[in-house]
Amino acid sequence: MNRNILVVNDDGIGAEGIIRLAKAASRFGRVWVVAPEHQCSGMSQKITIFEPISVTPCGFPVPVEGAWRIGGSPADCVKAAVNFLMTEEKPDYVFSGVNNGYNTGFDTAYSGTVGAAMEALMKGIPAIAFSNHYNGSWETVDRWLEELIGELIETPLPPFEMWNVNFPGVPLSECRGILRGRRVAPLQLYRDLYTREERPDGGFNICNASLPVPPHLAPEDSDVYAVLSGHISVGTLRCSVL
């Protein structure tokens, strides 16, 4: 229980998933929560360069060592925590999520949840990203989250690799178990379906109404296949610059 655990996300400090993750993480160590004050999905590993980043202490629904809301990106949250908020107790782990939406296939490249975990890897801190189906059931997360944390923190990875866990977002009675060793599917879970809306000024707006791929298009050993078939997906990601 001497572990120092930093919990971050990209959905914002008030998101349902980060409350669940902080509560589960507290079973394994001392927890600090540092999360964006606004929704930051799709920011990948974006950092703030040309303007100040606000750091504000705040209350949190479950007991933690401290909680702060950050006026920046998920990666900014990791930087703020390591450089200013956890200077005496450096994080032993960074847990990111639980994201409201899968982070599988090519979508992992866009993910702010994964981006925060990658920022941790670049600082030499082991990291795990957790995600659930967008607006799906939380029953399977509640049943398996603590058990998977316990398993994965005791299963070290090579430097610059992280665990990526996706829950299928189905009721527990419909969860078909855990598929480990999942590889990243070579496709996007949601196919781009852009539409064009003309504006009176001669310009136009582009709107994205993405549609999920059919399960049969995903390789059976992939993360996308796992979640679309009702399984929990456990796999790894590697820091993309190495």
Specify if 146 maps to a domain: yes
Specify if 127 maps to a domain: yes
Q: How far apart are CA 19 and CA 25, in angstroms?
A: 10
User: How, if at all, do strands 190-191 and 211-212 pair?
Assistant: antiparallel
List the CATH number of the domain containing 15: 3.40.1210.10
Q: What is the pLDDT of residue 240?
A: 72
Specify if 231 maps to a domain: yes
Q: What is the pLDDT of residue 1?
A: 66
SS3 state of residue 217 = helix
In angstroms, what CA-CA distances link 138 with 20, 21, 28, 60, 237? 10, 12, 21, 20, 24
Specify if 212 maps to a domain: no
Q: What is the full per-residue pLDDT of the chain (242 aa) written as tens digits?
A: 689 999 999 999 999 999 999 999 999 999 999 999 999 999 999 999 999 999 999 999 999 999 999 999 999 999 999 999 999 999 999 999 999 999 999 999 999 999 999 999 999 999 999 999 998 899 999 999 999 999 999 999 999 999 999 999 999 999 999 999 999 999 988 877 889 999 999 999 999 877 777 777 899 999 999 999 999 999 999 987 77
In angstroms, what CA-CA distances link 159 with 120, 125, 181? 11, 9, 17
In angstroms, what CA-CA distances link 133 with 8, 91, 226? 18, 28, 12
Specify if 51 maps to a domain: yes
Q: How many CB atoms lie within 10 A of CB 99?
A: 28
Q: How far apart are CA 191 and CA 74, in angstroms?
A: 25
- Number of helices (H) and strands (E) in the chain: give both, helices first: 5, 13
182's enclosing H/E stretch is strand 178-182
Cα atoms found within 13 Å of the Cα of residue 90, Cβ hemisphere only: 7
Q: How far apart are CA 220 and CA 203, in angstroms?
A: 43
Please tell me the total count of domains within the chain.
1
Which domain covers residue 88, as residue numbers? 4-183+218-238
